[in-house]
Amino acid sequence: MMMLDSMDELLTHIKDVQLDVIELSGESLMKMSSFMEKNELEIDEDIATALQYQDIITQQLNATIEAIESMQSSINMFSHAYKSDEGLAQQSIAKLKEKLSVTLQDAKDKKSRFSGKFAESHADDEIEFF
């Protein structure tokens, strides 16, 4: 069970690093955009795209943070079952594997969903009017 505790600690560390990346990249971009606004600098397509990367990075990282939290919850449930009843733990490990697979698939789906035009190179660049 020490292995599971280490995994839990590692996941917490990864989550903390991701939260820092979200915060720092957001602060960095806000400082740059504030400078551009103050100096009334017109932005072109490349700069506008670059500015929007941060939004996409944040959404991607938040999706993986959700996956990490879901994995930690499953690991903790298994760990608790193992400590209280070894027989129950045998059943729980199959459920744990299933839950982790679902969580991974959900995270992969969100990676695609939250990538906008980056995920779909064929995505039409035109604005779609209904």
Q: Of these, 11, 56, 89, 100, which contacts another protein (CB under 8 A)?
A: 56
Q: Does 111 bind another protein (CB under 8 A)?
A: no
Q: Does 95 bind another protein (CB under 8 A)?
A: no
With 0-12 / 13-18 / 19 or more C-beta atoms within 10 angstroms meaning exposed / middle / buried, residue 51 is middle
15, two tokens: 């989550």
C-beta of 32: minimal distance to another protein in Å? 9
Q: Does 108 bind another protein (CB under 8 A)?
A: no
Q: Which x/- pattern, by CB under 8 A, does the window 1-40 give for another protein?
A: -------------------------x--xx--xx-xx--x
Give the H or E element holding residue 45: helix 45-84
Is 112 in contact with 64 (CB distance < 8 Å)? no
